[in-house]
Amino acid sequence: MVTTLDRVPTQCATAADRAAREAATRELLERRAASTDDEERQQLLEEVVELNIEMARGIARRFRGRGAEADDLEQVAYLGLVKAAHHYRLDADTPFIGFAIPTIRGEVKRYFRDCAWTVRIPRRLQEMQGTIAAKLPYLEQLLNREPTPAEIADHLGVELSEVEQALAAKGCFNVLSLDRPAEADADLTLADVVADDDDATIDQLEAVDMLQPVLADLGERERRILQLRFVEGWTQSEIGADIGVSQMQVSRVLRRILDDLRDKLSPVPAAA
């Protein structure tokens, strides 16, 4: 029997591949929703997971090098994918990928927050460490130096003591020795094979996968405004002059577009 997996690529290199995967995923989920046979429903669920497995692997790779085993990260990402397949609502405006990626990423982040600590620290400090890590590159670029705890606290709008406690707890993740033999080659250590820089292409691929289906719903003018603002780097005044509206109108249109995209990319509440 020819299945959906025989016809649709699981590794998507083009927009057409991603659209085909999305359509096939929806077809499988619709068939599962219509079925009353438990065995068939389970088989269709497994096909959905297999069809989107590379998405989960890509997200797991993004979190490597943070003190958790690669195999564990992949298993957690797979669990997130299964949860997404279970809870996705066919009547939602968000495409499956727009629901699955935040669900998988959230599952991996919860794993780090709850399970990957050598020394247990309060959850608020775990979350504060994540917030600091996200904002630190911006502050370093802005100040052209490493920011002080007081500057970090001021930027985040939190108490200095919270930042100091979070920074003091840094390093509580499980860590691997760089002298540990690499799995691929016993003659090499982790220090010999670990990449110097993060693979920025993973973030780009995730962004493209998530945005492709929702951007397709925008009109030509809206897509042009986004292109000029975020790709070409034009100011709102320059965009207004180009399309024949005021800077204020451009600002309102941008805000509306971004709010709409944000709503569509937000995880849909799980079905009861």
134, part of any domain: no
By the 8 A CB rule, do 190 and 178 touch? yes
Is the dihedral angle over the CA atoms 208, 214, 220, 226 positive or is it negative?
A: negative
Residue 34 has what pLDDT?
A: 92
108, part of any domain: yes
CATH classification at residue 40? 1.20.120.1810
CATH classification at residue 260? 1.10.10.10
Q: List C-alpha distances in Å: 111 to 12, 64, 77, 117.
A: 27, 13, 10, 10
Residue 208 has what pLDDT?
A: 58
Residue 226 has what pLDDT?
A: 82
224, part of any domain: yes
83, part of any domain: yes
pLDDT tens-digit profile, the chain (272 residues): 344 555 676 676 677 878 888 888 889 999 998 999 989 999 998 999 999 988 888 888 887 766 677 788 888 899 989 988 888 888 877 888 888 888 888 888 888 766 655 555 667 777 787 788 888 888 888 887 888 888 898 988 988 888 888 877 665 555 444 555 555 445 555 455 444 444 444 455 555 566 666 677 778 888 888 888 877 788 888 888 888 888 888 888 888 888 887 776 655 444 43
Domain boundary residue, one of 59, 92, 114: 114
Count of the separate structural domains present in the chain: 2
Which tokens in the block code for residue 107? Answer: 């599952």
Helix (H) / strand (E) containing 28: helix 15-34
234, part of any domain: yes
CA distance 25 to 16: 14
122, part of any domain: no
Which tokens in the block code for residue 181? Answer: 């033999």
Domain boundary residue, one of 70, 97, 114: 114
Show the domain range for 225: 219-272
Domain boundary residue, one of 95, 114, 133: 114
Task: Give the pTM.
Answer: 0.46
Which tokens in the block code for residue 148? Answer: 């002080």
Residue 72 has what pLDDT?
A: 83
Alpha-helix runs per DSSP H in 35-188: 38-51, 53-62, 70-87, 96-115, 123-143, 149-156, 160-168
178, part of any domain: no
Residue 268 has what pLDDT?
A: 46
199, part of any domain: no
By the 8 A CB rule, do 129 and 166 touch? yes
